[in-house]
């Protein structure tokens, strides 16, 4: 964090450079306007908020308002807060040795003022990068005033200073984020007396520590997040603090399958396995995304806690892993997720949903129901059952087909080759290029017909047999 050759290194040089400091809100507003004029992506990696949440954030920043995001878990609230640092200048000057990222032209800490009083224009300055101007804390009931605001340092008192001396204070996270952005996640979980302390910071700009009151002209952009149920007058929030946030912005889950898939593509862990090519059919991604959307509509699942986008990502990663395990065991050179791999999502879904009731409605049954609805919905976007009338007549005549998690892909190819209608349906899915994609398509078609009550399905010993 040292000054480079072309940047002022002392207070005197900074004055001579003509540097004019801006408040954090002025700085963010200026940079937002510049990015909007250039057409830059202001919040890279945030998907599905372009017409809803992002315009509200831009309005709040242009208005110079602190923000509270209201939304269930997994709605990118923390990611947005962290990405706000993109609206800060790359670097700002601070007094070397100051406690609170002090502006050399307007220091607020006693330490920085003492340094400037002693050294004058020779006061050394450093350049603070934008990533170090962000502070974040997850609110929990055991957070203390000293964590967020500060405490009297007994070591400094032992050195001979009076308790009334500002230099005895060890500042907490918020003062140390001066000239930056401070994010407080799950705001209502703070104890009420801590909320009152935050209220003073945001509005009155004074700090009270063990009865010692000092006035700090802190320059902090405050961002908070909360669950909508808790952020009400009846919830765990002090009403005057609620009033201090200029904008309450409601976040939401991805509203389309396309947005959910875009999140999968962006966030899922990506590994390469030597000797095995991974091919994922579009309809399998749609099914995984649809499972999450079905969960968000399910009466069996508590919607108060929400169904995070992380469910989609984890489920997708698990079906990839299950298909990879099969390819390794069968010695195949490619892997592609199939319908029979969907049992692998139970472990990645169960821990991320809360059932509305307890009893016989076990998580496995709920997840199985979600899978069936998602497969049927996806199948019906690609096909109508009328397209398979001739195939169904073949089943009426005694045709049977088998599917299994560990069935080699070539067996599916042979089955499809013997049934013209099935081969045509595989081609409609653009899955005829590889044995593993043919296997994935055949399972999808057979299960789709079963869920549309056109075929019966017998289960046993890890296999499924489709018949009329």
Output the tens digit of pLDDT for each of the chain's 468 residues: 444 558 899 999 999 999 999 999 999 999 999 999 999 999 999 999 999 999 999 999 999 999 999 999 899 999 999 999 999 999 999 999 988 999 999 998 888 999 999 999 999 999 999 999 999 999 888 888 888 887 766 666 556 555 555 666 778 898 899 999 999 999 988 888 888 878 877 776 666 665 566 667 889 999 999 988 877 655 678 888 888 899 999 999 999 999 999 999 999 998 889 999 999 999 999 999 999 999 999 999 988 888 999 999 999 999 999 999 999 999 999 999 999 999 999 999 988 888 877 655 588 899 999 999 999 999 999 999 999 999 999 999 999 999 999 999 999 999 888 898 999 999 999 998 899 999 999 999 999 999 999 999 998 877 899 999
Q: Is 161 helix (H, G, I), strand (E, B) or coil?
A: coil
Burial 408-431 (b: 16+ CB within 10 A, else e): bbeebbebbeebebbbebbeebeb
- Looking at residue 106, its pLDDT comes to 92
- Looking at residue 302, its pLDDT comes to 87
Q: How many Å apart are CA 429 and CA 438, to the nearest integer?
A: 9
CA distances to 201, 301, 313 from 435, rounded to whole Å, are 64, 38, 26
CB proximity list for 410: less than 8 A, separation 6 or greater: 435
Q: How many Å apart are CA 420 and CA 124, to the nearest integer?
A: 81
Q: How many CB atoms lie within 10 A of CB 324?
A: 18
Q: How many Å apart are CA 391 and CA 420, to the nearest integer?
A: 8
For residue 230, the cross-strand partners are none
Cβ(135)–Cβ(149) below 8 Å: no
DSSP characters over 179-207: TEEEEEESGGGS-HHHHHHHHIIIII-EE
Read off the tokens for 169: 């204070």
Cβ(14)–Cβ(104) below 8 Å: yes
- Looking at residue 460, its pLDDT comes to 82
331: left (phi over 0), alpha (psi -120 to 50) or beta: left
For residue 224, the cross-strand partners are 68, 184
**Spans of all domains in the chain:** 11-250, 257-467
Cβ(400)–Cβ(460) below 8 Å: no
What are the φ and ψ backbone dihedral angles of 144, each rounded to 5 degrees? -110, 165
Q: Is 377 helix (H, G, I), strand (E, B) or coil?
A: helix
Q: Is 397 helix (H, G, I), strand (E, B) or coil?
A: coil
Q: How many Å apart are CA 157 and CA 36, to the nearest integer?
A: 51
Q: How many Å apart are CA 78 and CA 243, to the nearest integer?
A: 21
- The residue among 453, 446, 449 whose CA lies nearest residue 340 is 446
Give the position of tokens 């398979």.
Answer: 388
Cβ(76)–Cβ(46) below 8 Å: yes
For residue 263, the cross-strand partners are none
- Looking at residue 249, its pLDDT comes to 96
Q: How many Å apart are CA 295 and CA 380, to the nearest integer?
A: 19
Q: How many CB atoms lie within 10 A of CB 162?
A: 9
> What is the assigned CATH class of domain 11-250?
alpha beta
Q: How many residues appear in the chain?
A: 468
- Looking at residue 1, its pLDDT comes to 46
Q: What is the dihedral of CA 405, 410, 416, 418, to 10 degrees?
A: -130
- Looking at residue 140, its pLDDT comes to 86
pTM equals: 0.87
Helix ranges (H only) for 120-190 are 145-148, 154-158, 173-176
Q: How many Å apart are CA 286 and CA 307, to the nearest integer?
A: 17
- Looking at residue 291, its pLDDT comes to 97
DSSP characters over 53-65: HHHHHHHHHHHT-
Cβ(201)–Cβ(218) below 8 Å: yes
Helix ranges (H only) for 209-308 are 239-244, 257-267, 282-297
- Looking at residue 2, its pLDDT comes to 47
């Amino acid at each position: 964090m040292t000054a480079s050759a072309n940047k002022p290194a002392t207070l005197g040089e900074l004055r001579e450079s003509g540097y004019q400091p801006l408040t954090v809100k002025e700085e963010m507003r200026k940079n937002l306007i510049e990015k909007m004029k250039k057409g830059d992506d202001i919040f890279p990696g945030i998907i599905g908020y372009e017409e809803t949440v992002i315009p509200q954030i831009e309005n709040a920043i242009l208005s110079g308002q602190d923000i509270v995001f209201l939304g269930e878990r997994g709605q990118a609230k923390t990611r947005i807060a962290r990405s706000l640092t993109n609206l800060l200048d790359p670097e700002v000057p601070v007094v070397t040795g100051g406690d609170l990222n002090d502006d050399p032209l307007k220091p607020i800490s006693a330490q920085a003022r003492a340094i400037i009083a002693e050294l004058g224009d020779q006061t050394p300055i450093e350049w603070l990068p934008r990533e170090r101007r962000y502070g974040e804390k997850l609110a929990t009931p055991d957070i203390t005033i000293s964590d967020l605001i500060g405490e009297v340092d007994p070591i400094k008192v032992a050195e001979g200073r009076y308790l009334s001396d500002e230099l005895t204070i060890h500042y907490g996270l918020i003062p140390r984020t001066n000239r930056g952005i401070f994010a407080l996640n799950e705001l209502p979980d703070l104890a009420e007396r801590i909320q009152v302390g935050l209220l003073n910071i945001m509005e009155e700009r004074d700090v009270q520590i063990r009865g010692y009151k000092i006035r700090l002209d802190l320059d902090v952009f405050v961002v908070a997040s909360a669950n909508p149920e808790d952020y009400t007058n009846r919830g765990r929030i002090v009403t005057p603090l609620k009033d201090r946030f200029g904008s309450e912005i409601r976040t939401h889950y991805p509203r389309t399958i396309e947005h959910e898939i875009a999140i999968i593509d962006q966030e899922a862990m990506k590994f390469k396995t030597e000797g095995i090519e991974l091919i994922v059919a579009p309809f399998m991604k749609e099914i995984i995304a649809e499972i999450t959307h079905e969960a968000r509509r399910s009466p069996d699942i508590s919607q108060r806690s929400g169904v995070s986008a992380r469910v989609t990502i984890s489920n997708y990663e698990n079906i990839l892993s299950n298909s990879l395990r099969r390819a390794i065991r069968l010695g195949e050179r490619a892997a592609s997720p199939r319908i029979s791999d969907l049992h692998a999502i139970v472990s990645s879904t169960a821990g991320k949903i809360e059932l509305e009731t307890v009893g016989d409605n076990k998580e496995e049954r709920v997840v199985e129901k979600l899978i069936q609805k998602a497969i049927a919905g996806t199948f019906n976007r690609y096909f109508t059952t009328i397209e398979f009338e001739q195939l169904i007549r073949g089943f009426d005549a005694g045709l049977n087909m088998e599917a299994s998690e560990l069935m080699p892909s070539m067996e599916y190819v042979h089955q499809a080759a013997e049934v013209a209608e099935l081969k045509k349906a595989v081609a409609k899915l653009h899955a005829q290029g590889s044995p593993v994609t043919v296997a994935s398509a055949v399972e999808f078609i057979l299960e789709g017909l079963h869920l549309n009550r056109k075929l019966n399905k017998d289960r046993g010993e890890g296999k499924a047999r489709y018949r009329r």
